[in-house]
Structures are given as structure tokens and as C-alpha cells.
Amino acid sequence: MLGKVFGIVMLPISILIILGEIGIGFSLPFNLALLGAILMIALQLVNMVAAKSHNGHLRIMQIVTAIFFIAPALALIAKEFFGLIVVDSLPLIVGVIMLAEALYALH
């Protein structure tokens, strides 16, 4: 149930990130991609805790999937806080992955 709440919140945020990155302009006083990255990490942690409590253990695919979704979010956070030069289009990548993750959470 909590995953669906994350999906509902993340869906419009991911669409706004994608639109902002492709040039359909709007201005916000905060970094929407950073908020999205934090939400992506939180959703994966919630999913892993739910899987652990439901199954009693984590399967390797659950861990690999979580790493796949968390890695770009961590790269964006490292870029924002530590100034690491990763990829200029990282917010767009996070927005697209966040859109996929939100749609999957709503299924």
C-alpha cells in the first residue's frame, strides 16, 4: 500500500522533471530532480523492507532491482552535494527511471 502512495506522488514529479529537462520550461525554487532521487531511494528501501517482512529473506533479483533504481539516484545526489561530474543529462535519466518506477509501483 505504501508503494502505491509513493507511485502516486512520484508520477507527476517524474513528468515535471522530464518536461523541465527537455526544455518545456517552468521554474521552481527547489531542485525537483533531487527530491525525485530521494523518493526513489525511499521507495526501494520500503520495497526491500516489505519483501523481507513478507518472505523472511531477500531474493537476489530484489537486491539487483533495488541497486538498478538506487544507483542513478545516488549519482545525482553525489553530483548535487559533492560536485562530482557525472553526466549532464543525469536529471533526465533519473526522471525517466522514476517514471518507470512510479508506473510499476501503481500496477
What pLDDT sits at residue 67?
92
What pLDDT sits at residue 30?
80
Number of H helices, E strands in the chain: 4, 0
What pLDDT sits at residue 41?
93
What pLDDT sits at residue 105?
85
What pLDDT sits at residue 28?
73
Burial class (CB in 10 A: 0-12, 13-18, 19+), 53: exposed
**Residues in the chain, pLDDT under 50:** none
pTM of the model: 0.85
Separation of alpha carbons 27 and 20, rounded Å? 9
